[in-house]
Structure 1
Amino acid sequence: MKVGIVGGGIGGLTTALLLAKQGFQIDIFEKESRLGGRLAFVEHNGYRIDEGPTIVLLPKMLTTILEEAGISSNQYELIQCDPLYKIHFADGTTYTKRATEEEQFCEIERSFPGESENYKRFMVDMKKRFEVGEKAFLQKSFVNKWDFWTWQNVKFLKQLNANQSMHKFVSRYFNDERLASAYALQSLYIGGNPYSSPAIYSLIPYSEHAHGIFYVKGGYASLVPVLEKALKKAGVQIHLNAPVDELIIEENEARGLKVRGEINEFDSVILNGDFPSMAKLSKVKEKKYVPSSSCLLFYFGLNKRYAHSNIHQYFMGQDFNEHMDQVFKSKTVPTDPAIYTFYPSLIDDTLAPEGKGVLYALVPVPSGHDIDWDKESAFMDQIIDTLEQKGFPGLREAIEWKQIRTPKDACDFGLYEGGSFGIAPELFQSGVFRPQLQPYEYKNVYAVGASIHPGGGVPIVMQGAKLLADSLVQASHQSFEKLS
């Protein structure tokens, strides 16, 4: 069976490898000059840092799918982060998430006396729910919507208070508002508002403690050349600088892809571009989605190293709720935002010249077109000042190279409304309500990526690729049986 894939993001690459192992003939058409999509590096004069994703969650899911795709663990290196990360609150309180249970209990009692029992209760409850949720949501697709509405799933949604926001749900466990924020901010990993994203996503902070946070040596994007080498070895045809003009549809079925005026025929087509933008290729009516939040991203090359820093840190503003309102409701430039920093040079000396380091900072900001980012240099300076004051003394003097990526850059790259994480993880854009792997009425058109169930985050997108590959393999077997 011949399959054409539109887009060479992590979802498309993983699907291609899994299908190639099963004997499918695969062509990937990528509009950029490289593969990887949001998995990419920003580089300058010996400095290199991840452009997008940085936090490796669900390591077992990642390694298992890579193994199934033919990539063994000796082809890349995962390093466990210990501590997981440190949170700095505006009042001077700090809270560090640790890799072991015993250390975590001690840390909670140090920062939030009396809350350790609440943490234990949270982890016990979430363990049960994660086990059910993984099977019910991550390991199944819902092309047939009725497959979702089982008695077990309805019971699970009720247990998890799916109609409650993530922040409200975790506030049932933690008395201190700061601690509640520490266990709700993770919805931002997938571009969701902690104060409106459904409580099902509270499984993310549980997973951080239960499964750990990891770092890919050399950067997350270093997985891309490993995947590319495996694809070429498997005979997958890769076409770079090859934007697809049109999906050729005849009699409710895809016949192929039009690229540079030439029609390439395929038995099936997989869409791996940012899904909402794929409608224009597919001759379907464009549907309006709620986009995820966007990011203001800072990349720094530094002439020094910060030996006493942390790999991952959060610097919270005075009012996290207000920051989220500005991002998701009023769509205005945040006045006192929370900032996430990634400092891989603490454990990886391959990213910068000797004795130097790289730093990445992310500020959640509104998606859409309401803000002219070319006029926000004062806000950008404010962020650098905050970083220097709160975590990286002498930062301005240490900067040898700086690059800033705005929501406008995300729009130009093709991300829906400039949202950095696909469509938002709202209640009615999650689970059965999210676009599925067979999103249209066309019987041989499929989709994979952050906006497709089961959702965003590199391992979750890879899980979506596995669901898609399994579905296509099963369909091809059924077709063969009918012919025989």
Structure 2
Amino acid sequence: MKKVSVVGAGIGGLTAAIYLQNYGYQVEVFEKNSRPGGKMDIIEENGFKFDTGPTIVMMPEIYQNPFKDTGVDYKDYFKLQRVNPFMDVYIDGVRTALSSDLVDLASIFESQGEYEMEGFLNYLADIYSKYRNAKDNFIYKSFRGPKDFYNFKTLIQAYKLKTFSSSFEALSKHIKNPQLRNLLAFQTLYIGISPFNGPSIYNIIPMIELTSGVWFIQGGMFQYAAALEKRFLELGGVIRYDTEVTEIVVDTDNSAIGVQTTAGFHESQAVVANSDFPYTVENLINIPEKRLGKYTKKRIKQLDYSMSCYILYLGVNKNFSELGLHTIRMSEDFEGNVQAIENGIFPDDPSFYIYNPSTIDNSFAPSDQSAIYVLIPVSNLKGTNLGKQLKQTI
């Protein structure tokens, strides 16, 4: 039986491990921490718990598929709950409850006049066409080599996506009201991308919210990591916790032959690296630069990174029942806020996001108390003095 080593028991590593194990490979996962999840971790202290990674669940079928595809019912492993309205957004002090129900969402635009309603419907038609194209031709398709992308059919579909304009520019063609534009623009920040510079393809994010809704995993996001771990072990896989991979060992023909770990060498016929790509190239692949192809260590250092975030985990002795699960307070100058982030400046009036799972799940905090997660988008640390600014601000 062919052996496969997986670096990291994060969500990507565990998902890949489940499919490989189910296909008949013998899979070993190596994780430096003492539990699964990677960035989808959890902090537990004094009766409070906090998700440290993602907090918004969209496209629930992606979460369900590793269980469905291996012959079990996902409901036996984790529980999903739909959230609607899914987000409260405050712009200039005015609260708008965002819904994934099209009738409710359309009423927001219709209240601003017929032209805004018409623009919203035109925007939906345009972005749905791009969403369907991206889903069928790119999101669910593997690109293993140049010919997978550089062929007539794929290039035509890529052209139809019309990603040459920014997300905000594409939005502005249809929506003229600045508050309504901001209401649809902020979603690109979910993935650290500026709506003013990021390509318009990222406008499919609000379309995904409409087509699949927004969901909550009962008990928190870490429960999903635990569910993946359980399914992988049921299939006969092996996880070695507290075992850090220090090198992906590669032979002279660039084939992986195993991993070197803090517990010794483990031979395998293939390696899946779920560690961050720059870290993997710079620290785990110890081969001459000329064998790295286009992704040399020098090129990795020159990569641009998306924005980062500053997070507060607050256990408070009050039940904020008036605060929904997801809340965003947008800066009065949203574009200036984003520009400051891109220029490595800590904004004077930052936008921020609040996650309050205690409002629908009492497992996050003691009775009549709340576990509050506050996230502020900030610049990444590459080439900035942001760390110093943060200390001065605090």
Task: Give the structure-2-normalised TM-score.
Answer: 0.91
CA–CA separation in structure 2 for the residues paired with 1:372 and 1:88 = 26
Say if 1:64 and 1:202 are closer, same or farther in 2 by CA, change over 3 A: same
Does the CA contact (< 8 Å) of 2:86 and 2:99 recur in 1?
yes
CA–CA separation in structure 1 for the residues paired with 2:69 and 2:324 = 33
Give 2:280's aligned amino acid. M
In the alignment, structure 1 segments of 5+ residues that lack a partner are: 381-484
Q: Which residue of the other structure, out of 329, 332, 335, is the alignment partner of 1:318?
A: 332
CA–CA separation in structure 2 for the residues paired with 1:72 and 1:351 = 26
Partner of 1:294 in structure 2?
Answer: 308
Say if 1:198 and 1:346 are closer, same or farther in 2 by CA, change over 3 A: same
Say if 1:366 and 1:150 are closer, same or farther in 2 by CA, change over 3 A: same
Shift of 1:213: 0.7
Partner of 1:127 in structure 2?
Answer: 128
Does the CA contact (< 8 Å) of 2:6 and 2:273 recur in 1?
yes
CA–CA separation in structure 2 for the residues paired with 1:261 and 1:306 = 47
Shift of 1:266: 0.5
Shift of 1:197: 1.2
Percent identity for Structure 1 against Structure 2: 28
Partner of 2:357 in structure 1?
Answer: 344
Q: Which residue of the other structure, out of 281, 284, 292, is the alignment partner of 1:281?
A: 284
Does the CA contact (< 8 Å) of 1:112 and 1:176 recur in 2?
no
Shift of 1:22: 1.4
SS in 1 for 2:332: coil
Q: Residue by residue, what CA displacement relative to the aligned partner does 1:155-195 show, whole Å, maximum 9, x if unpaired?
A: 33333321111111111111012222222222211111211
Shift of 1:377: 4.6
SS in 1 for 2:56: coil
Give 1:360's aligned amino acid. Y
Say if 1:375 and 1:255 are closer, same or farther in 2 by CA, change over 3 A: same
Shift of 1:30: 1.0
Partner of 2:171 in structure 1?
Answer: 170
CA–CA separation in structure 1 for the residues paired with 2:67 and 2:202 = 24
Say if 1:112 and 1:342 are closer, same or farther in 2 by CA, change over 3 A: farther
Partner of 1:258 in structure 2?
Answer: 260
Partner of 1:219 in structure 2?
Answer: 220
Say if 1:96 and 1:149 are closer, same or farther in 2 by CA, change over 3 A: farther
Shift of 1:348: 0.8
Shift of 1:333: 1.2
Listed as ranges, the matches of 1:60-459 within 5 Å are: 60-70=61-71, 72-74=73-75, 75-90=77-92, 92-110=93-111, 114-252=115-253, 253-260=255-262, 262-279=264-281, 280-282=283-285, 283=287, 284=292, 285-286=296-297, 287-288=299-300, 289-328=303-342, 330-369=343-382, 370-371=384-385, 373=387, 376-377=390-391, 379-380=393-394
Give 1:355's aligned amino acid. D
Give 2:61's aligned amino acid. K
Partner of 1:23 in structure 2?
Answer: 24
Shift of 1:36: 0.7
SS in 2 for 1:376: helix
Partner of 1:388 in structure 2?
Answer: none
Say if 1:261 and 1:31 are closer, same or farther in 2 by CA, change over 3 A: closer
Q: Residue by residue, what CA displacement relative to the aligned partner does 1:92-140 show, whole Å, maximum 9, x if unpaired?
A: 3333211322111222334677422222222222222222210111121
CA–CA separation in structure 1 for the residues paired with 2:344 and 2:389 = 16
CA–CA separation in structure 1 for the residues paired with 2:62 and 2:228 = 16
Shift of 1:293: 1.2
Shift of 1:57: 1.0
CA–CA separation in structure 2 for the residues paired with 1:52 and 1:81 = 19
Shift of 1:201: 1.1
Does the CA contact (< 8 Å) of 1:59 and 1:211 recur in 2?
yes
Shift of 1:70: 4.9
Give 1:144's aligned amino acid. G
Say if 1:42 and 1:261 are closer, same or farther in 2 by CA, change over 3 A: closer
Shift of 1:48: 0.8
Give 2:305's aligned amino acid. P
Q: Residue by residue, what CA displacement relative to the aligned partner does 1:328-377 show, whole Å, maximum 9, x if unpaired?
A: 2x212122111011111111111111121111111111112523536635
CA–CA separation in structure 2 for the residues paired with 1:18 and 1:78 = 22
Shift of 1:249: 1.6
CA–CA separation in structure 1 for the residues paired with 2:114 and 2:356 = 30
Does the CA contact (< 8 Å) of 1:70 and 1:230 recur in 2?
no
SS in 1 for 2:310: strand
Shift of 1:256: 1.2
Shift of 1:242: 1.2
Q: Residue by residue, what CA displacement relative to the aligned partner does 1:301-322 show, whole Å, maximum 9, x if unpaired?
A: 1212122222111101121111
In the alignment, structure 2 segments of 5+ residues that lack a partner are: none
Say if 1:116 and 1:138 are closer, same or farther in 2 by CA, change over 3 A: same
CA–CA separation in structure 1 for the residues paired with 2:210 and 2:392 = 37
Shift of 1:378: 5.6
SS in 1 for 2:195: coil
Output the aligned Cα RMSD: 1.9
Give 1:108's aligned amino acid. F
Task: Give the structure-1-normalised TM-score.
Answer: 0.74
CA–CA separation in structure 2 for the residues paired with 1:158 and 1:40 = 39
CA–CA separation in structure 1 for the residues paired with 2:113 and 2:8 = 47
Does the CA contact (< 8 Å) of 1:94 and 1:111 recur in 2?
no
Identify which range, 58-67 or 300-309, moves more after superposition: 58-67
Give 1:148's aligned amino acid. F
CA–CA separation in structure 1 for the residues paired with 2:226 and 2:30 = 17
Verify: 1:50 aligned to 2:51, yes or no: yes
SS in 1 for 2:347: coil
SS in 1 for 2:84: coil
SS in 1 for 2:100: coil
